[in-house]
């Protein structure tokens, strides 16, 4: 009964938006060129995505001070444990297809899961009023940052680097970087540097970072990850030109079998059907909405993006930067149904949702409330 009572307090706009999202993916699944894959994506969103967004909202509304502390302790333990294991054993092999083993971790799953937690701890560092706690969070953040580097999920590492730099510059500009917080940042830098000296990585890691600016289209053996995405974007562009209004349907990118699109010679002789079957989706959330849902999908996503940016900024700059990072990940990896982290930004949208009722969980308060 309490759960139902809390759900009623969340506001009609919030549930209206989720309802429109559900209708959009359901309708586009109905005419998808790959109905079964679209259905799997729809089920994933409905069964896991929507509940996670709702749970996030309920937690933000009802978290007590003790809940906050336990949450921070929990993610600190998770980040610290994972980072130490990575430092000692480096369980990643980035240039081979992943096979589940306890001694072989997926660098994509690890980094996409751990990086947002590290950012939360990094933002939390600036709330500390004691040197000991600031340095403790700095140490954990430094180890975590190293683990993302060594995992070699380049989008996560570069995105984190950008968010960290922007946050520090904002703190300096606003004169909010005190000696206590500065000590935590120094601790993070020292721990990261020492970790890098102890375990600097291998030639595969270094080459993958170098390939960010040296990879050439068509040389799949140079960097399969980069070139597969470039090829996927090229296929997506052809699909957008072919199906601009309705798209190919939710999931319709995978296993595209119509022999009515061709790529330029620089991409080589590519089997479109086989390639899209392997790639599964465009690996860019903007492109995916347009390719699979057409103009309506693109407009809907732009509305969601606007609402998340506007609403999160009213709470704090750090919260906005957190969702900028989530969006950054969605631009280079996975699909709509597995980028739920970004859509949890909707948890901050919808009246009535007063700032006074939302206890400060992770980020500093702003004077402006959410209207």
Quote the pLDDT of residue 368.
Answer: 43
Quote the pLDDT of residue 269.
Answer: 84
- Mean pLDDT, to the nearest integer, of 237-266? 92
d(CA 170, CA 164): 10
Q: Please give the backbone phi and psi of residue 104, each rounded to the nearest 5 degrees, phi first.
A: -135, 110
- By C-alpha distance, which of 151, 44, 26, 1 is closest to 89? 151
pTM to 2 decimals?
0.90
Report residue 64's pLDDT band, with 50, 70 and 90 as the boundaries.
Answer: confident
- Which comes out higher in pLDDT, residue 207 or 241? 241
- Model pLDDT for residues 335-352, shown as the tens digit of each residue: 999 999 999 999 988 754
d(CA 265, CA 195): 45
Q: What mean pLDDT is reported for the chain?
A: 88
Look at residue 357 and tell me whether its pLDDT is greater than 50: no
Task: Kindly list the domain boundaries of the chain, sorted by start residue.
Answer: 9-348
Quote the pLDDT of residue 370.
Answer: 42
Give me the DSSP letters along 31-62.
T-TTHHHHHHHHHHIIIIIHHHHHHHHHHHHH
- Model pLDDT for residues 84-112, shown as the tens digit of each residue: 999 999 898 876 666 667 778 889 999 99
Quote the pLDDT of residue 353.
Answer: 45
- In angstroms, the Cα distances linking 253 to 96, 236, 289 are 24, 8, 11
Report residue 118's pLDDT band, with 50, 70 and 90 as the boundaries.
Answer: very high
How does 325-352 read in b/e, with b if 16+ C-beta sit within 10 Å?
A: bbbbbbebbbbbbbbbbbbbbbbbbbee
- Model pLDDT for residues 123-169, shown as the tens digit of each residue: 999 999 999 999 999 999 999 999 999 999 999 999 999 999 999 99
- Which comes out higher in pLDDT, residue 328 or 366? 328
**Cβ atoms within 10 Å of 19's Cβ, excluding its own:** 12
């Amino acid at each position: 009964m309490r759960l139902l009572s809390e759900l009623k307090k969340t506001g009609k706009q919030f549930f209206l938006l989720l309802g429109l999202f559900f209708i959009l993916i359901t309708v586009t699944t109905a005419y998808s060129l790959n109905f079964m894959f679209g259905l799997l994506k729809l089920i994933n969103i409905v069964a896991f995505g929507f509940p996670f967004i709702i749970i996030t909202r309920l937690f933000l509304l009802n978290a007590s001070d003790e809940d906050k502390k336990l949450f921070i302790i929990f993610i600190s333990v998770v980040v610290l444990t994972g980072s130490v294991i990575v430092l000692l054993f480096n369980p990643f092999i980035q240039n081979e297809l992943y096979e589940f083993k306890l001694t072989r971790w997926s660098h994509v799953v690890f980094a996409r899961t751990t990086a947002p937690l590290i950012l939360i701890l990094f933002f939390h560092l600036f709330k500390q009023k004691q040197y000991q706690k600031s340095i403790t969070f700095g140490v954990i953040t430094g180890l975590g940052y190293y683990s993302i580097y060594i995992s070699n999920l380049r989008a996560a590492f570069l995105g984190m680097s950008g968010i960290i730099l922007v946050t520090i510059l904002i703190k300096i500009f606003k004169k909010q970087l005190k000696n206590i917080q500065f000590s935590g940042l120094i601790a993070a830098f020292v721990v990261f540097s020492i970790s890098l000296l102890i375990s600097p990585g291998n030639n595969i890691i270094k080459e993958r970072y170098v390939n960010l600016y040296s990879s050439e289209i068509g040389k799949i053996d140079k960097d399969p990850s980069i070139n597969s995405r470039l090829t996927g974007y090229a296929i997506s562009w052809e699909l957008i030109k072919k199906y601009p209004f309705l798209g190919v349907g939710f999931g319709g990118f995978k296993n595209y079998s119509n022999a009515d699109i061709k790529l330029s010679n620089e991409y080589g002789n590519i089997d479109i059907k086989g390639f899209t079957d392997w790639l599964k989706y465009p690996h860019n959330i903007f492109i995916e909405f347009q390719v699979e849902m057409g103009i309506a999908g693109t407009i809907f996503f732009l509305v969601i993006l606007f609402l998340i940016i506007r609403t999160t900024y009213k709470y704090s700059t750090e919260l906005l930067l957190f969702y900028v990072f989530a969006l950054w990940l969605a631009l280079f990896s996975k699909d709509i149904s597995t980028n739920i982290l970004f859509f949890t930004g909707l948890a901050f949208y919808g009246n009535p949702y007063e700032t006074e009722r939302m206890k400060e969980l992770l980020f500093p308060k702003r004077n402006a409330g959410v209207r």
